[in-house]
Structure 1
Amino acid sequence: MYKICSHLLWEKSNLYSTFFLVNVRTITFLNGNIRTLSRESIKNLTFNDILKLNFTNNAVVRLEPETLSNFTTIVSLTISSEPALLATDVMNALNHMKTAHLKSLTLTRNDWLYIPNDMFKAIKTNKIRNINLNRNNLQLLNFSWFSNMSHLLNLRVSFNKISTIIQDSIFSLRNLFLGSNEITKLPKFCINHGNKSALPNLRHLSLSNNRIGNIGQFRCFPRLKTLKIGDNWIGTINKNTFTELKELTDLSLQVIGKPLKKIEDGAFNIPSLQRLSLRDCHFRFERLSPSAQSSMLSSCRDLGFLDLSGNYLNSTILPRIISQLKQLRYLNLENTRLSFLPEGVFPELPVIQTLIMTMNQIYGWDRDVFARVTSLQYLDLRHNLIKIVNESSFQTALLANLKKISLAKNPFACTCEQICDDYEYHAFVVYCDENRMWVHDEFVKKLENEEGFKFCIYHRDFEVGKPISVNIDQYLKKSWKVVVIISNAFAKSEWCQWEVDIIQERRRREGRNALLLVMLENLTSKNMTSPLRTLLDSTPHLRYKKGIGENLFWNAVIKDLRKAVGQPPISEL
């Protein structure tokens, strides 16, 4: 019986067939029970010019040396998921095979701990371009196995257990994949400790998900364009680590350090760089001095893609880092602890197209915050604390180019009255004149400068010439929350008591999370008025004490200020 086709799949069968096949070019044996592969068992297939031959998961335990000797036209050979098959059997079969046309060899998921040094001897002088050894259990990689392969372009040895690499030259190699191994030290690819490269034409190098702790300086990769070294134990990115990579355009450092602890000045001195990922490094950028923040990416003038998600930023640090990146098209700020976005947080980015700020604590922004990024086409603000979006939230110039905006998973208000509100301030601060120095020099300075909050302070923001009561009413409506700074001086002030009556109404209308009470000192009994007692009994308050416990106080204040109105209160200090 004759069967004419170009691709034949044998699944869950043995090899012996009673029919002849013609014009077959690709054959796959999948999930069978072959046990022994021999020349006799597949002789019927040799009536065709087979180009691709694949044996996957067939319980092969023996591959006889002459099995593949009659296949003279094979371009691609795959032997995969055969854990009982010895690597020496495959080597002997390759040695007896006419491999002049073989370009791709895949030997994956075979559970080999080692392969013989002469494994690829038969194909060294031929036109092999691709070798895939992924997902075995190899512990050693010897580059001499592949030396003198003048056409080898791609070598994949990921998902093994390689901890030792023996250097040798592979002059033609373009792409090397060594991810998900047990490498602890950056391999050296300089010949005889000089500047000559063992891999002079390498374009792509992946070392992700290993155990590398110290990377030192990358050398002897004169044509490397892509370097992926994420998910390693690298705690410090040293000065000039990548400076010798003159053609590097794509650098991935995501999830390094766990967390990344230090970035030295000059670490990213890479003028050719176009893509950089520092995703999920949990790096605290406040550890850098302001000048170091400003210079960190100053050499990367052609950077078009930047992923800073999963790190610690604020609205003061961010513009320093990105202000010189005029070619930036993609910026990811997911989960970077951003809250209020003041004007100037985004410097002029004339070609920016994608801005991702999901999974932050953003509750609002200044009217002109997007004035310098009007080329945006996609804006992602999902999973934040945004309550209000109205026609004044985004400038007309921004909307002209914007193709998509994502605002899902925000605690939007639903009533018409709330939607019409336009909050310009995160909180209105109520305090007495005796506490003005602490409010201005401690509370406001710290939280506005370091955390990006925007407060309404009557000494600074009230309109001159208007009655105080009118100003209070006007600016309370422009503020999302109310902060009350309580002291004995506050309790004795008749004016402050009047303000307490006003904000009590705010609390009753919007819930206790609309207020934040800060106690600067214990109140004496003679100063404890009935309205003040009612306020303290109905609303959680935070106690300020300089020194021990002060950091806990500030963390609690920040958390409470960022909490959406209507959420459960945080623990009281």
Structure 2
Amino acid sequence: MIPVLLMSAFLPVYSLAGSVLGCPAGCTCNDDTFVVQCEHSKLDVIPITLNPAIQRLVLRNNKIKTVDAAFQFYRDLQYVDLSSNHLVNIPTKSFFHQEKLQELHLNKNKLSSVNNKTFQGLKSLTVLNLRENFLEELPKGIFAILPKLEELNLGQNRISKIDPLAFDGLRCLRVLFLDDNLLKSVPTSSFFVMGSLAELHVGLNAFDGLPDDAFQGLSRLSVLDLSSGGISNLSDYAFRGLSGLRSLNLGDNRLHQVPTNQLGVLPRLEELGIGQNEFAVLSRGAFRGLSNLRRLDVTGARNLERVERGAFAENLNLETIVLVSNKKLRSLDEGSLEGLPNLRHLVLKENSLESLSETVASWGELKTLELTDNPIRCDCQLLWLLKLTKQRNLTNVYCAKPNNLRDQQLKGLTAVDLGCSEGEPNRQTILIIFGVGAVILLAILGYFLFRYRLKVRDALKDYKFNKRAISRKEHEYQKTFSEDEYTLRGAGQLPIKHIPVTEL
């Protein structure tokens, strides 16, 4: 009782004398902004001599082992950071007087358990960070006394068990981190009480696969992170019910092919990360049904060898394609990136591309093109790219081959350096187009001749018959009247031949 009375006696003096009297060594105390920062100050307890009107208290990177009664003196706190300390437990009602507290950061400590009375009194809390502790399970109603909580971070713990009603009462929760724990399956049964959840991070767990309706109850989910989960199998309706999902990260799993059908139930998906998986090809229509997709990231797919023409045929809203660090990707099929009117950013860094055809994509609208760290062969086939880089500063390309151009920047070379004349590619293109056109024309003509060969033969036969008939008639006509006879008859000089009566 005596220490409390002494403290209350000092408080008025503190407010008059300023922060110097009560500010511990190694701390910064500002009575104008009501902010106290004590980082790396070697504190082992929470100081009780601070200005009682402080609103923001940062005690990061100290040696504090418990939360004691000191907090009862600071009832205007809105932000508390106790991360990177040695907290082992939090006594009941430690925050009972912090009704104005909005953010509490307890990450990077040694907490092994919390209960439904640990956070009693935190009626205004919106952010609770318990990341990087030793929590093993989440019992029923553990957060029920936090009605305004919007963000809960439980990542990097040892959680293996979650009660179906562990999140009961969190009707305002928008963001939940459960990543990097020991969960063996998606805790579907605990999602029903979080109808407002918009963002879920549940990667880096021991999931083998996702069953049907794995995220049932999360109809408002917008962001889903399943990266590094060891997922090798997705059931056909794993994402059913997530019609509003905008962002999905499936990177760093064990998928052997792009889950086209499973992704097709996500019509509003705008961002997809699917790198570091086992598939070898992005086949035609791989992302069928994702008509609103704007950004695709395929980074570190160690077996990816080919991107087929038409892989993005139905993704006309794509703005950014990231194909990075795919070491077996040596070329792109012609036209594999064409027909994308909104494509603005194309990142092709750190692959094994030796060349790039002009017909791969439509380059006119690109704002960003990254080709660095590829073993590019600088020859006449890249004259179009040389012109493009000089017209628009899109990328820095360094030659890997041939040896005489190694490590030289493509932009600084000429057509002669690439081993071709200025007009050679155009002439070659014209000749190819002309040759292909001629072949197509001959093929069409041959097809029609073969299909209508009988009619053609009959037509030729009729033509020859009519011609012979006409010739015969002309011959008979000429035989009936000789030229002299015709002349005499015309002059009326030929005698009239009388026919005997007997002949009649």
TM over 0.5: yes
TM-superposed CA distance for 1:23, in Å, is: 4.1
The partner residue of 1:386 within 376, 388, 393 is 376
User: 1:374, 1:397 within 8 Å by CA — same for their partners in 2?
Assistant: no
Partner of 1:93 in structure 2? 94
Which residue identity lines up with residue 59 of structure 2 in the other structure?
Answer: F
User: Residues 128-527 of structure 1: matches in 2 within 5 Å?
Assistant: 128-142=125-139, 144-168=141-165, 169=168, 170-189=170-189, 197-216=192-211, 217=213, 218-257=215-254, 260-269=255-264, 270-285=266-281, 293-311=283-301, 312-315=303-306, 317-336=307-326, 337-370=328-361, 372-388=362-378, 393-394=383-384, 402-408=392-398, 410-411=400-401, 413-414=403-404, 419-422=417-420
User: 2:23, 2:49 within 8 Å by CA — same for their partners in 1?
Assistant: no
Distance verdict in 2 for CA 1:211–1:383, change over 3 Å: same
Which residue identity lines up with residue 38 of structure 2 in the other structure?
Answer: F
Distance verdict in 2 for CA 1:376–1:402, change over 3 Å: farther
TM-superposed CA distance for 1:160, in Å, is: 1.3
Partner of 2:427 in structure 1? none
User: 1:338, 1:360 within 8 Å by CA — same for their partners in 2?
Assistant: yes
Distance verdict in 2 for CA 1:156–1:87, change over 3 Å: same
TM-superposed CA distance for 1:308, in Å, is: 1.9
The whole-number CA distance in structure 2 between the counterparts of 1:262 and 1:339 is 19
User: 2:56, 2:78 within 8 Å by CA — same for their partners in 1?
Assistant: yes
User: 2:286, 2:311 within 8 Å by CA — same for their partners in 1?
Assistant: yes
User: 1:271, 1:299 within 8 Å by CA — same for their partners in 2?
Assistant: yes
Distance verdict in 2 for CA 1:355–1:71, change over 3 Å: same
CA offsets 1:28-57 (integer angstroms, 9 cap, x no match): 2233344444xxx514522xx210122234
Which residue identity lines up with residue 122 of structure 1 in the other structure?
Answer: G
The whole-number CA distance in structure 2 between the counterparts of 1:262 and 1:342 is 18
The whole-number CA distance in structure 2 between the counterparts of 1:81 and 1:412 is 54
Q: Which runs of 5+ in 2 are unaligned?
A: 1-13, 406-413, 422-434, 440-504
CA offsets 1:496-530 (integer angstroms, 9 cap, x no match): xxxxxxxxxxxxxxxxxxxxxxxxxxxxxxxxxxx
The whole-number CA distance in structure 2 between the counterparts of 1:115 and 1:393 is 66
CA offsets 1:59-99 (integer angstroms, 9 cap, x no match): 234543x321121211112222332x44233x34213xx22
TM-superposed CA distance for 1:364, in Å, is: 2.2
Distance verdict in 2 for CA 1:407–1:399, change over 3 Å: closer
CA offsets 1:363-410 (integer angstroms, 9 cap, x no match): 22334333x342111111122222216696336996698542131473
User: 2:378, 2:400 within 8 Å by CA — same for their partners in 1?
Assistant: no
| 1:31 is aligned to 2:37 | no
Partner of 1:475 in structure 2? none
The partner residue of 2:76 within 73, 81, 87 is 73
The whole-number CA distance in structure 1 between the counterparts of 2:349 and 2:23 is 46
User: 2:94, 2:118 within 8 Å by CA — same for their partners in 1?
Assistant: no
The whole-number CA distance in structure 1 between the counterparts of 2:345 and 2:311 is 17
User: 1:87, 1:116 within 8 Å by CA — same for their partners in 2?
Assistant: no
User: 1:308, 1:332 within 8 Å by CA — same for their partners in 2?
Assistant: yes
TM-superposed CA distance for 1:413, in Å, is: 4.7
Distance verdict in 2 for CA 1:100–1:387, change over 3 Å: same
Which residue identity lines up with residue 329 of structure 2 in the other structure?
Answer: L
User: 2:131, 2:153 within 8 Å by CA — same for their partners in 1?
Assistant: yes
Distance verdict in 2 for CA 1:283–1:394, change over 3 Å: same
User: 1:213, 1:235 within 8 Å by CA — same for their partners in 2?
Assistant: yes
User: 2:23, 2:50 within 8 Å by CA — same for their partners in 1?
Assistant: no
Partner of 2:103 in structure 1? 104
Which residue identity lines up with residue 151 of structure 2 in the other structure?
Answer: N
User: 2:357, 2:382 within 8 Å by CA — same for their partners in 1?
Assistant: no
Structure with bigger strand share is 1
TM-score by length of 2: 0.70
The whole-number CA distance in structure 2 between the counterparts of 1:143 and 1:401 is 64
TM-superposed CA distance for 1:267, in Å, is: 1.3
Distance verdict in 2 for CA 1:412–1:200, change over 3 Å: farther
Distance verdict in 2 for CA 1:342–1:177, change over 3 Å: closer
- Alignment root-mean-square deviation, CA: 3.4
TM-superposed CA distance for 1:263, in Å, is: 4.5
User: 1:51, 1:76 within 8 Å by CA — same for their partners in 2?
Assistant: yes
User: 1:342, 1:365 within 8 Å by CA — same for their partners in 2?
Assistant: no
Partner of 2:6 in structure 1? none
Which range moves more in the overlay, 341-350 or 28-37? 28-37
Distance verdict in 2 for CA 1:256–1:341, change over 3 Å: closer
Partner of 1:121 in structure 2? 120
The whole-number CA distance in structure 1 between the counterparts of 2:284 and 2:370 is 25
User: 1:376, 1:401 within 8 Å by CA — same for their partners in 2?
Assistant: no
The whole-number CA distance in structure 2 between the counterparts of 1:334 and 1:36 is 49
Which secondary structure does the structure 2 equivalent of 1:88 belong to? coil
TM-score by length of 1: 0.62
TM-superposed CA distance for 1:10, in Å, is: 4.9
Which residue identity lines up with residue 359 of structure 2 in the other structure?
Answer: D
Which secondary structure does the structure 1 equivalent of 2:58 belong to? strand
